[in-house]
Amino acid sequence: MRHGKWPKKSRAARRSEIVVKKTEIGTQLDDLAVTKYGEKFLLNQALTLIEFSGGSRNKDGSFGYLDSFGVVDSSKPRELYIQCRMIQVFGIAHLHGLRDNKEIIEDGINIILDLFQDKTHGGFYNSIDQQGNPVATNKLAYDHMFVLLAACTAKVVGASRADELLRIIDSLIDKYFWDPRFEMMNNSWNLQLDDLSSYRGINANMHAVEALAAAFDVTGDEKYRHRAFVISKKTAEDFARNNNWLLPEHFNQDWVMDKDFNIDNPADPFCPFGVTIGHLFEWSRLLMHVRLQIRDTEYDDGWIAPAATHLYDTARKYGWCADGTDGFVYTINWEKKPVVRSRMFWVAAEAVMTAYTLWEYSGETQYLRDYDYWWKYIDTYVIDKKNGSWFHELDPNQHVVGHTWPGKPDTYHAFNACILPLYPMGTSFIGTVLDARGK
């Protein structure tokens, strides 16, 4: 049984225990018969999501914004973060042997380099129109972190230009986004990269941790692991712990929190007002990945598991059924009351991933009960069994709406939720692949 305290073993030792020609899917949950949402269910759902995601691919190899029926909505621009997330989804599926996606990854990387890259000023546009013209107004850390993640995944897949992209994005992050003074990421620049916004945000730094952990796994460059660790510790210990685990998201250039940011636009898809329940779960899980990555090093990890537990408990207590009906509210205010009551699919996805992660770490049955109950909610209300994928947004009465997330542009969170329990816990999704390969 894999759950319990993770032993103090080196990465090489962990790899030596894995003797497989390809990534093998575990049967832990199905063998235990403790939930109907075990490996067989998860694998079937993952394959269904991959099939649905295929509809996002345009003729030129870019990925479009999918509507509710899985058809590209040509009225919407092509988004860089979607381009990168699709590369991640198809890449992980390819590397686990679920489907041959090598050509898709090759084309996807080419599009990032040839269409999204600003050849004049540097950096990458966050969106382009259907003709390939930039429609962006700034250059965001959020998107650039996903470029790093996509480049790392593509490198392991063997995409011919992955190293080129990795060199470019590494240089950009060093020059424009990493702030050595605060050891956090800057948030956004203008298109010319000569005017840095005063806003700083936790969302971009959260995805930085995800990408940096993957980059360390792929390259072995200590810089990436160090940055993932210090961002995580500052976020958890300075910001979350000091606010009773109600993690603030918005700050000024000196990393002083702005608790009223977007109070007049509380449902913003990337910068909502208040506390974002899904991010409490996501940070909890990412902390546990970081904990694995720093094992047998001089980094202090004693704070990590307690912080991850506090974040999880806060999200569970104030997010689930917070207004009297099932589902996670999107956000709460500083009085712990719901603000945006919509049920976002990605929040539920992060919740089940984190519940599984903490169960595997601790063996405590409450996490497994949460995992089962929340998957039942997803299975009952969120999965679109007729048209495929997951409904992205429900109202408190479980009716499909599209106020914040119209259509179904994103399978990244849902696919990750299906993939994570299938394999031994890793330092990142790509780290799990490398462990299985013994590399």
Which residues are known to be catalytic? 279, 413
Give long-range contacts, CB 8 A cutoff, 24+ apart: 99-105.
99/47, 99/50, 101/157, 102/157, 102/158, 102/159, 104/57, 104/61, 105/153, 105/154, 105/157, 105/159
Residues 6+ apart with CB under 8 A from 100: 94
Strands (E), 380-420: 393-394
What is the C-alpha to C-alpha distance for residues 5 and 275, in angstroms, rounded to an integer? Answer: 30
H-helix or E-strand containing 328?
A: none
Strand (E) or helix (H) holding 332: strand 331-332
3-state helix vs strand vs coil in the chain, percent to 5: 50, 10, 40
d(CA 148, CA 169): 6
SS (H, E, C) 216-239: HHHHCCHHHHHHHHHHHHHHHHHH
**Calpha distance 8→203 (Å, rounded):** 31
